[in-house]
Amino acid sequence: MFVKRQRGWELPEHAATSEAAFLNRRQLLAAAGGGLLLGAGGLRAKAEEAVDPTADLYPAKRNELYTIERPVTPEAINSTYNNFYEFGSHKRIYQRAQALNIRPWEVRIDGEVENPFTIEFDDLIRKVSVEERLYRHRCVEAWSMTVPWSGFPLKDLVALAKPLSKAKYLRMETFHNPDVATGQKQSWYPWPYVEGVTIEEATNDLAFLVTGAYGKPLHKQFGAPLRLALPWKYGFKSIKSIVRFSFTEERPVSFWEQIQKNEYGFWANVNPEVSHPRWSQARETVLESGEKIPTQLFNGYGEYVAHLYDGLEDKEPLYM
Ligand code: MTE
């Protein structure tokens, strides 16, 4: 089943620019309002934060290995401009996302592992060490931001899972609950959202499972309680609100790949020289300033990840 629809981040470059202009106005409003523009949904989220069973873990100690040369995107801007198609195919889903119930939250680990198991998120997070990292985030739509994520390396989850040697890929899946996430009633999308990486990518130091941001447990619109951050890849690889990690022999087919594989491939590594079929990836609009800056190969993280792709250049479409 396959219906091609224009999605928010499939805009041509000129349309992406007007989003940036919109954001500049938002920034002014946020500054004038002196805080988050979250309304009633945000107030509810704030009340939940107060009782979040993991609140004691934040703010986490910053790991200075992962720093950025750009200012951090203000929380008020970042938390009101999100891609989370489960709650709508536009950027202003932050209030709708507050409907997501994130407790209890079970995480299933299965596939090619010694022993499949299910674990409560609140138990999982106590088995790892939470730290803060400053990461750049580059959306395929050609906007970018910088975020203080908190969480733990994905490789620590891989270690807990004990994959068998035949496991070559890690497939991740978002929750599926159309009653709450009304975007999932849009039957032309292949719900639930799925993403995948190779085991080598999953165990790279940069691959980070995010549990918090801006020194607090994760806002729901960011993909609470557990999302991925793969800063060298386009943002759609960074799957939100994960409920399942499956270790597989076969390469998983991701959500957008199922919809439009000639535009959103499995690898999706950032490369300014490889255009999206419908717009250039050479530059990116910085979310908070509207400034257009050059995009960097692997989003500037080549020293950590370029080696993962040695010998694959001619065999695989690494940059789409
Ligand atoms: N994960 C799920 N489950 N659903 C989504 O729609 N959107 C992706 C990614 N992860 C998405 C998702 C895209 S396109 C981007 S750019 C980032 O989340 C956006 O993350 P942010 O809202 O925290 O900026």
pLDDT value of residue 51: 80
Q: Which whole-number Å values give the CA distances from 74 to 8, 82, 97, 167, 235, in the listed order?
A: 22, 13, 20, 39, 18
Q: Which of 174, 236, 255, 256 to mutate to test the pocket of ligand 1 (most atoms within 8 A of CB)?
A: 236
Domain ranges of the chain: 13-309
Q: Are 87 and 177 in contact (CB under 8 A)?
A: no
Q: Are 91 and 83 in contact (CB under 8 A)?
A: yes
| Interval 102-112 mean pLDDT | 98
**Distance, CA 115 to ligand 1 centroid (Å)?**
30
Q: What confidence tens digit (pLDDT) does each residue in 49-69 have?
A: 458 999 999 999 999 999 898
pLDDT value of residue 43: 52
Which residue lies with its CA nearest to atom 2 of ligand 1? 240
Q: Which residue has the higher pLDDT, 206 or 49?
A: 206
Three-state DSSP string of 242-294: EEEEEEECCCCCCHHHHHCCCCCCCCCECCCCCCECCECCCEEEECCCCCEEE
Q: What is the rounded average pLDDT for all residues in the chain?
A: 88
pLDDT value of residue 50: 55
pTM: 0.88
Fold category of 13-309 in CATH? Sulfite Oxidase; Chain A, domain 2 (3.90.420)
| Interval 196-212 mean pLDDT | 98
For the CA of 183, the closest atom of ligand 1 is 6
**Distance, CA 1 to ligand 1 centroid (Å)?**
22
Residues with CB under 6 A from ligand 1: 9, 82-86, 139, 174, 193, 222-223, 235-236, 238-241
* Position 62, amino acid: R
**What phi and psi, each to the nearest 5 degrees, are found at residue 261?**
-70, -20
Which residue lies with its CA nearest to atom 24 of ligand 1? 82
* Pairing state between β 117-120 and 227-229: unpaired
CA–CA separation, 152 and 304 (whole Å): 17
Name which of 139, 39, 137 is nearest 80 in CA terms: 39
**Distance, CA 299 to ligand 1 centroid (Å)?**
17
Q: How far, in whole angstroms, is CA 284 from its chain's centroid? A: 17
